[in-house]
Structure 1
Amino acid sequence: MSNTALRLPDGSCDCHFHIYGPFERFPAGSEGRFTPARAFTIEDAFALWDRIGVMRGVIVHAVGSGADNAVTFEALRRFPDRLRATAILQPDVTDRRLDELTDAGFKAVRVTMIRQDGKPVSTLGTSFDDLVELAPRLAERGWHAQIWIESSDLAAAAESLERLPLTYVVDHMCRTMADKGHRHPDYVAFTERLKTGRYWVKISGADRNTRAGRPYRDTAPFMRAIVEAAPDQVVWGSDWPHVGHTDETRPDLQDLLQLLWDCVPDEAVRRRILIDNPTRLYGF
């Protein structure tokens, strides 16, 4: 890695980060190993952004923080010019509440479709079945669905997803572990779907997809394949504060930025990913 600290261009957007607390007002629910040990507030996020050059961001509401979306809603109300968000919803959410969330700056529902050993990794949050019920009302309000799904599961689910009146933003480079290989047919099919304009992807989560560990070079071919396929359908996210990691495995943000620079060496393309594409997708 370079000895010089990397800094993002002015106006950059962090399209995937989480906030927690302060706990006396917004208690953290249980997310297993993803439950934070301390609060990470919007002010903490802004302090990080000041160091790396981020101006705007998209809060991904934490699953354990509940379907009221309260901590995220307050942050949007306080900083409407800098923030957009992704919500956790249940099908019984009222139209009035959906309108309140929309007016505040929520742009998407967060849907967890990751599986392990054939079973969902979490029953918390919004499921695919919930999404089917919610989709017509979300489409009316211009929302999309942010989905956390692995490439082979996406290949199996794509027909069902595409029957819904929504576009999709896929988390963490389609959450495909590095040893699967970026030339796997299901990963190639995912990158081809980006070309349709129906799907977007976040180039984030290298620390979650790696088998080799820091500095995550085994994930670089996946990121390059995404950017080569559809640079106008790509956004970047830090995934701060990296919950679920230990002190030993928690990523250094400079490693993640260096990976971005290595995989997207063209400055104009980086600006599209960091500034122009988020502006279109999230309505800044």
Structure 2
Amino acid sequence: MPDCLPPLDAPSRPHHALPPLTCDSHCHIFGPADVFPYAAQRSYTPPDAPYEKLAALHRHLGVERAVIVQAACHGDDHSALLDAVARSEGRYRGVGLLGAETTDAKIEALHAGGIRAARFNFVAHLGKPPAPDVFDRIARQVAAFGWHLCLHVDGPALTALLPTLRQLPLPFVVDHMGRVRAGDGLDQPAFQGLLQLADVAQAWVKVSGVDRISLGKRPYPEGLPFVSALARAMPDRVLWGTDWPHPNVAGDMPDDGELVDLFFQAVPDAQARQRILVDNPARLYGF
């Protein structure tokens, strides 16, 4: 039985029109489990949220491109992700989860299927973080394919990880604004460290998961200044995403139409929005 809530059945339609070729740079698909079973050793069981529902959401919002991030509940079986990317006919890319036994041949196969990055989890509820030697080896392996890293990390872990990130020899993306706590303010060390990545040419940040840094009550106004600060600090290396279908949400289930409108409120400049929504993901993911 699922132990996560499903996304909203009928999210609102945004009040703002997204620019053509907007990319949802962080979303997931789950199952359907009878076709793409969940991993036996998973830390959560979501309700099915298959490709068809994701594509319908994107049509509803006005999103034309997307980056689907491999869900931890599917482990290292990328069948659902590869199926979705193939069905998108070039509109979607993927981010994989690679374990210690990953071979170059597997990366090559994933690359042929539209995968362009490897994700590492440093968040406690998703299991142990990668061993340093595994992290370093996979970083070297994927760099040879022109991939980058996506790092799922929270505030305390982010602060400890920043020196390592600054030395990485390939591009990396910090997911969900480093999951800092909005209640700790813009001056907290973790967020200031994130802002300082503006001077690291390889560093990117996703202004996704605003509900995860906030108090959990829609429409998450306390997260708005964090999105704004990152958009100002590194507008050419910021990405936006919905995080649909919002797994393991602790507070209100996000309304994806409201998330679009919150982004417009946080980033009022049209040229900056164009970079974040269209130009930046096209450059990083090769659309």
| TM-score (normalised: structure 2) | 0.89
Are 2:42 and 2:75, in contact at CA under 8 Å, matched by a contact in 1?
Answer: no
1:51 and 2:54 equivalent? no
1:94 and 2:103 equivalent? yes
Q: 1:253 aligns with which of 256, 264, 272?
A: 256
Cα distance in 1 for residues equivalent to 2:241 and 2:127? 24
* Corresponding position of 1:121: 125
- After TM superposition, give the deviation of residue 127 of structure 1 in Å: 5.7
Give the letter aligned to residue 44 of structure 1. K
Are 1:87 and 1:106, in contact at CA under 8 Å, matched by a contact in 2?
Answer: yes
Q: Which residues of 2 match residues 126-141 of structure 1 at below 5 A?
A: 129-141=133-145
Give the letter aligned to residue 188 of structure 1. Q
- After TM superposition, give the deviation of residue 100 of structure 1 in Å: 0.9
* Corresponding position of 1:20: 30
- After TM superposition, give the deviation of residue 73 of structure 1 in Å: 1.3
- After TM superposition, give the deviation of residue 153 of structure 1 in Å: 2.5
* Corresponding position of 2:242: 238
Q: Which residues of 2 match residues 28-177 of structure 1 at below 5 A?
A: 28-29=38-39, 31-32=42-43, 34-37=44-47, 39-114=48-123, 120-123=124-127, 129-177=133-181
- After TM superposition, give the deviation of residue 185 of structure 1 in Å: 3.1
- CA gap of 1:4–1:211, structure 2 versus 1, over 3 A, is closer
Are 2:197 and 2:203, in contact at CA under 8 Å, matched by a contact in 1?
Answer: yes
* Corresponding position of 1:271: 274
Cα distance in 1 for residues equivalent to 2:13 and 2:143? 46
Out of 104-113 and 22-31, give the one that drifted further: 22-31
Give the letter aligned to residue 27 of structure 2. F
* SS of equivalent residue, structure 2 residue 24: strand
1:282 and 2:276 equivalent? no
Are 2:25 and 2:240, in contact at CA under 8 Å, matched by a contact in 1?
Answer: yes
- After TM superposition, give the deviation of residue 79 of structure 1 in Å: 2.4
Are 2:216 and 2:252, in contact at CA under 8 Å, matched by a contact in 1?
Answer: no
Give the fraction of aligned pairs with identical amino acids, expressed as a percent: 36
Query: Unpaired segments of 5 or more residues in structure 1?
Result: 115-119
* SS of equivalent residue, structure 1 residue 110: strand
Are 1:113 and 1:127, in contact at CA under 8 Å, matched by a contact in 2?
Answer: no
- After TM superposition, give the deviation of residue 212 of structure 1 in Å: 5.6
- CA gap of 1:70–1:127, structure 2 versus 1, over 3 A, is farther
Give the letter aligned to residue 28 of structure 1. Y
Are 2:27 and 2:245, in contact at CA under 8 Å, matched by a contact in 1?
Answer: yes
- After TM superposition, give the deviation of residue 186 of structure 1 in Å: 3.1
How many residue pairs get aligned? The number is 275
- After TM superposition, give the deviation of residue 163 of structure 1 in Å: 3.5
User: Which structure would you say has the larger RCO, counting Cα contacts within 8 Å and 6 or more residues apart?
Assistant: 2
Are 2:94 and 2:114, in contact at CA under 8 Å, matched by a contact in 1?
Answer: yes
1:178 and 2:182 equivalent? yes
1:227 and 2:227 equivalent? no
Query: Unpaired segments of 5 or more residues in structure 2?
Result: 1-11
Are 2:151 and 2:174, in contact at CA under 8 Å, matched by a contact in 1?
Answer: yes
* SS of equivalent residue, structure 2 residue 226: helix
